[in-house]
Amino acid sequence: MENDLKYEIKIIHQLRFNATAKESFIGYIVLLMLSKKLFSFNTDVSDLVFNSLGVKFLPYAVRSRTLMVAKVCKFCSELNAQEINHISIKVYDYLMSEVLPKKTNIGSDIVVNVKNENYKIKQKKNNALENMNLWIKNKNK
């Protein structure tokens, strides 16, 4: 599948077909909302929340994905088991009908990238942990 959505699809199916506790439900929703592979834009996340939970965000909240997650967590913490099951069905239906068909292209050809000799690979920058390891190695010499 395009963009390697296997993990997200596993979460979607687990959300729909398994009875989940409130904490697990909130965790699944948060993982889906924070997924950049599934939702490229914050407005897409806002559409998911509105269509499945019925929560409408003001424009300032749509600009911040983490703020939307916080508001959804607060909303979901007040739900009972029946509401969670009903909402998980709505989330599943929305994702399977609106989001995933746009993200996956079942009939497309597979493209293989051929390395070009002139193509230069950028070296990744050292992060703090690598710098610490280099410092320890140099100190022990």
Which pLDDT tens digit goes with each residue over 56-99?
999 999 999 999 999 999 999 999 999 999 999 999 899 888 88
pLDDT of residue 108: 46
CB 25 within 8 A of CB 88: yes
pLDDT of residue 50: 95
Q: Residue 48 class from Cβ within 10 Å (0-12 exposed, 13-18 middle, 19+ buried)?
A: buried
- Which helix H or strand E contains 121, and what residues bound it? none
**Tens of pLDDT along 9-34?**
888 888 888 888 899 899 999 999 99
- pLDDT category of residue 126 using cuts at 50, 70 and 90: low
Is-above-0.75 flag for pTM? no
pLDDT of residue 41: 93
Report the percent of the chain where pLDDT is more than 70.
76
Residue 57 CB coordination number (10 Å):
19
**In the structure encoding, which two tokens stand for residue 44, read together?**
């897409």
- pLDDT category of residue 44 using cuts at 50, 70 and 90: very high
